[in-house]
A = this chain, B = another copy of it.
Amino acid sequence: MVIVMALDATEADVAAVVDLVEAAGGEAFVSRGLDRTIVGLIGDVDLFATLNLRSLTGVADVVRISVPYKLISREHHPDRSTVHVGGVPIGPDTVTLIAGPCAVETHEQTLAAAHMAQAAGATVLRGGAYKPRTSPYAFQGLGEAGLKILADVREETGLPIVTEVVSADDVDTVAAYADMLQVGTRNMQNFPLLQAVGRAGKPVMLKRGMSATIEEWLMAAEYIAQRGNLDIVLCERGIRTFEKATRNTLDIAAVPVAQRLSHLPVIIDPSHSGGRRDLVLPLTKAAIAVGADGVIVDVHPHPETALCDGPQALITSDLPELAEAVGTLTE
């Protein structure tokens, strides 16, 4: 941590910074320039962060140098991790395809979508039973009935399932059915939920908040890791920008950036980032080329009657190209 003193800081101001840091058990190195003095701090950064150094007289700025997360950082864990979901690996040695309907509507629709997913080479099934919707008048999901459908379809197809949980209250129920718990973009900073999934004993897919920096996303993952769960897959799904041609702007560079900062696997959701069916395949190819550890894609047997996000679901005629994109490029 570096303290930048103001131009008009006095010697007493500098001494006050040094005293406060030393009283907290740290060391402070003072560098005096022509114009300006800076103080470098050595010691426990998280402790320093509680000292409100920015509030002291004569302090112009406080610059944090080390990253604000530890358990998921690659600094002390250089090898990238693999997370297993019902036996299926997600990590540096594979490209995993996760596919299924945005929302579970009926057993028939979910099974048909699972068969579509398998036809494209998917090894994990996605499907939402609890749906966070911007409008209170939109379909909110089937709840536990949807979880039962997913479990039945797993039985019939052998595909492990990932499904979203939107409330700490529901974590036990969802964990009883799911192979992996999904935390959605709107809940990335729902801290009670992060702590609950951290204790649930199941792998977690953590979607990036649509306006979260990569650093905030990694700090959210740290909340989960702190509860003892390091089986976390990060999912980039687009961020909010001024561009209106797409639902969100896929931040494709987030994949290599997050993979350098954290040892956790990173996948991409091309369906929710683009929000348009015609963009799903190009973005899938880009995701694999950039080095993503997997993709999660919406498919639907009848998107024209889908209760959620029909316009972005792939249809049966798209599956060969999806299979080729995922398969060819992973060989």
| Chain A residues numbered 7-48 whose CB sits less than 8 Å from any CB in chain B | 7, 27, 29, 31-36, 38, 40, 42-43, 46
Chain A interface size, as a band, is 35 or more
Residue of B nearest to A53 (CB): B304
CA distance A304 to B244 in the complex (A): 28
| A245 and B274 within 8 A (CB) | no
Q: Tell me, yes or no, whether A186 is within 8 Å of chain B by CB.
A: yes
Per-residue B-contact encoding for A302-329, CB less than 8 Å = 1, 0 else: 0111110011000000000000000001
| A133 and B191 within 8 A (CB) | yes
* Copies of this chain assembled into the complex: 4
A141 → B minimal CB distance (Å): 11
A257 → B minimal CB distance (Å): 5
Q: Tell me, yes or no, whether A122 is within 8 Å of chain B by CB.
A: no
A-B contact pairs, 17 of them (CB 8 A): A31-B40, A32-B42, A33-B42, A33-B43, A38-B40, A52-B306, A55-B303, A135-B222, A166-B190, A166-B191, A167-B192, A187-B190, A241-B249, A245-B257, A253-B279, A256-B282, A285-B290
Measuring CB to CB, which residues of chain A are less than 8 angstroms from any residue of chain B? Answer: 2, 4, 7, 27, 29, 31-36, 38, 40, 42-43, 46, 49-50, 52, 54-56, 61, 63, 65-66, 68, 75, 132-140, 166-169, 186-187, 189-193, 209-211, 213-216, 219, 222-223, 226, 239-246, 249-257, 260, 273-274, 278-279, 282-283, 285-291, 303-307, 310-311, 329
Contacts A7-B75, A241-B251 aside, 11 further interface pairs with beta carbons under 8 A come to A63-B63, A169-B192, A213-B243, A242-B242, A244-B244, A245-B253, A246-B253, A252-B286, A253-B273, A286-B290, A288-B289
